[in-house]
């Protein structure tokens, strides 16, 4: 059977990860301006839990992608095909490195990551102020890059669907049985 | 002449053995004092960067030993300026009014590998009796004293009620003290 649709697993992972990425970006954007309070501390914790969830789902998704051939891209100009492939590769990479850089930043600041407040994750680096400042910057720049690539991804999908009318969006709302 | 000097030197030597030498404790000598606060399952260990202490330790007569440690509460370093400012506030350490936390031993008992120090812990003007197990070892820098104990921050009136349920009441104080002459 030639695959015209994504698998149900791929579609589910796509939307789950999309939701968690938006939540993490929103929290990350707002929490740094919050005054010191339990609410701020909790938001940081939730942000980390959501980030670890994205990392885990992204690893599963990468495994799935490597073992399941996705449907071919819809007909489009060569440059768009190139941009789509590059954009998707970039998204996969960022889904993995953005949460990982945050995890390192947290550890370098002296905060171990305890998933859902129950499962302690290993410390990737020891506490170090200079390292923490550096990874804070790396995490921020990578997260902003992710936000930009996600925005381009959404705009491109909308343009294909509504301007070129090629039913692109339907591919992420249907799956093969 | 030679004999007389020997007679003079002997009692001095004995006196030196009998009186335990006072060991000075400073961060510069590699000593560390940290407090571990736990919030929502995340234990964060942070150091006090300023403290002084004096330990008179005599392995031959452990019960005669004494220990004193004074820690500057305003030197607690979370590694974040905003949190550092928070913990120095009135509801937490109130470092402006109570700049120092102090442990003064009242009795010391020998136990395997070191001793057990009972003494008065004064934090934020409140006094509690605590018993601390201390492991003693030797290093190139001098005699090393390691140990930790758990305290209730609320017993000392430390912590704003708004943090209730977020930050645990139990705080672990850990120390690694290197005694220098």
A127 vs B contacts (CB less than 8 Å): 45, 79
CA distances from B28 to A107, A139, B56 (A): 26, 34, 19
**Residue B116 C-alpha, separation from nearest chain A C-alpha, in angstroms:** 30
pLDDT at A177: 59
* Residues 6 or more apart in contact with residue B81 via CB below 8 angstroms: none
Helix (H) or strand (E) run with residue A11 in it: helix A8-31
Report DSSP state, residue A130: H
Contact assignment for A110 to B163 by CB distance below 8 Å = no
Nearest residue to A140 via CA among A98, A96, A94: A98
* Domain spans in chain A, listed from the N-terminal domain onward: 8-172
Taking only the tens place, the pLDDT of each residue in B114-156 is: 999 999 999 999 999 999 999 999 988 889 999 999 999 999 9
Tokens of A156: 């491109």
- Which residue of chain A comes nearest to B38, CA vs CA? A111
Helix (H) or strand (E) run with residue A40 in it: helix A38-67
Does residue B12 fall inside a structural domain?
no
Chain A residues whose C-beta is within 8 A of a chain B C-beta are: 36-38, 41-42, 45, 109-114, 117-118, 120, 127, 129, 132
* Residues 6 or more apart in contact with residue B142 via CB below 8 angstroms: B23, B29, B178, B179, B180, B181
Predicted model pTM: 0.85
Nearest residue to B178 via CA among B49, B31, B50: B31
Sign of CA dihedral B129, B131, B132, B134: positive
Q: What average pLDDT is seen over chain B? A: 89
Report DSSP state, residue A120: E
Taking only the tens place, the pLDDT of each residue in B24-72 is: 898 888 999 999 999 989 999 999 999 999 999 988 899 999 999 999 9
pLDDT at B16: 44
Contact assignment for A117 to B41 by CB distance below 8 Å = yes
3-class SS letters over chain B: CHHHHHHHHHHHHHHHHHCCCEEEECHHHCCEEEEEEEECCEEEEEEECCEEEEEECCHHHHHHCEEEEEEEHHHECCCCHHHHHHHHCCCCCCCCCCCEEEEEEEEEEEECCEEEEEEEEEECCEEEEEEEEEEEEEECCEEEEEEEEEEEHHHHCCCCHHHCCCECCEEEEEEEEEEEC
Q: Which of B39, B79, B82 sits opposite A132 (nearest CB)?
A: B79
**Residue B119 C-alpha, separation from nearest chain A C-alpha, in angstroms:** 31
Residue B9 — pLDDT band, cuts 50, 70, 90?
low
ipTM of model: 0.79
Q: Which of B43, B45, B166 sits opposite A41 (nearest CB)?
A: B166
Does residue B3 fall inside a structural domain?
no
Q: How far apart are CA B146 and CA B6, in angstroms?
A: 39
Number of domains in chain B: 1
Q: Which one of A33, A35, A38 would you mutate to disrupt binding with B, by most B Cβ within 10 Å of its Cβ?
A: A38
* Residues 6 or more apart in contact with residue A140 via CB below 8 angstroms: none
**Residue B11 C-alpha, separation from nearest chain A C-alpha, in angstroms:** 51
Q: How far apart are CA A127 and CA A157, in angstroms?
A: 42
- Per DSSP, the three-state class of A59 is helix
User: How many C-beta neighbours within 10 Å does residue A80 have?
Assistant: 17
pLDDT at B17: 45
Please compute the mean of the pLDDT values over residues A55-65 and round it to a whole number: 97
Q: How far apart are CA B72 and CA B88, in angstroms?
A: 11
Contact assignment for B166 to A111 by CB distance below 8 Å = no
**Residue A140 C-alpha, separation from nearest chain B C-alpha, in angstroms:** 17
Asked if residues B58 and B65 have their Cβ atoms less than 8 Å apart, the reply is: yes
pLDDT at B18: 43
B44 vs A contacts (CB less than 8 Å): 110-112
**Residue B168 C-alpha, separation from nearest chain A C-alpha, in angstroms:** 12
pLDDT at A174: 82
User: How many C-beta neighbours within 10 Å does residue B153 have?
Assistant: 20
User: How many C-beta neighbours within 10 Å does residue A57 have?
Assistant: 18
Cβ-Cβ contacts under 8 Å between A and B: the total is: 43
The domain of B103 spans: 20-179
Please compute the mean of the pLDDT values over residues A57-61 and round it to a whole number: 98
Nearest residue to B52 via CA among B84, B114, B100, B107: B100
Give alpha helix (H) positions in A68-163: 78-108, 129-158
Does residue B107 fall inside a structural domain?
yes
* CATH label of the domain that carries residue B140: 2.40.128.110
């Amino acid at each position: 059977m030639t695959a015209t649709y994504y698998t149900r697993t791929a579609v589910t992972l796509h939307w789950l990860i999309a939701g968690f990425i938006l939540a993490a970006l929103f929290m990350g954007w707002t929490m740094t301006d919050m005054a010191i309070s339990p609410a701020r501390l909790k938001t940081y914790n939730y942000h980390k839990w959501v980030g670890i969830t994205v990392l885990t789902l992204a690893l599963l998704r990468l495994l799935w992608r490597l073992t399941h051939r996705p449907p071919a891209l819809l007909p489009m100009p060569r440059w768009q095909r190139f941009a789509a492939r590059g954009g998707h590769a970039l998204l996969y990479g960022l889904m993995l490195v953005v949460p990982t850089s945050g995890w390192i930043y947290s550890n370098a600041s002296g905060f171990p990551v305890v998933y859902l407040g129950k499962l302690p994750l290993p410390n990737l680096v020891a506490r170090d102020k200079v390292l923490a400042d550096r990874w804070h910057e790396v995490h921020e720049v990578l997260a902003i890059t992710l936000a930009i690539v996600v925005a381009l991804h959404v705009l491109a999908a909308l343009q294909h669907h509504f301007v070129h009318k090629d039913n692109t969006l339907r591919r992420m709302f249907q799956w093969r049985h | 002449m030679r004999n007389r000097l020997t007679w003079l030197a002997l009692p001095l030597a004995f006196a030196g053995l009998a009186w335990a030498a006072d060991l000075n404790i400073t961060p510069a000598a590699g000593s560390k004092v940290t407090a571990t606060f736990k919030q929502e399952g995340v234990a964060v260990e942070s150091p006090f960067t300023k403290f002084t202490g004096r330990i008179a330790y005599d392995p031959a007569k452990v019960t005669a030993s004494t220990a004193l440690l004074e820690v500057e509460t305003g030197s607690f370093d979370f590694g974040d300026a905003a949190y550092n400012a928070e913990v120095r506030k009135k509801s937490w350490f109130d470092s402006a009014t109570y700049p120092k936390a102090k442990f003064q031993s009242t009795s010391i008992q020998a136990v395997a590998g070191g001793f057990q120090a009972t003494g008065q812990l004064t934090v934020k003007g409140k006094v509690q009796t605590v018993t601390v197990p201390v492991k003693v070892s030797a290093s190139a820098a001098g005699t090393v004293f390691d140990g930790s104990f758990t305290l209730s921050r609320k017993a000392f009136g430390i912590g704003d009620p708004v943090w209730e349920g977020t930050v645990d009441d139990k705080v672990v104080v850990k120390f690694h003290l290197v005694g220098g002459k």
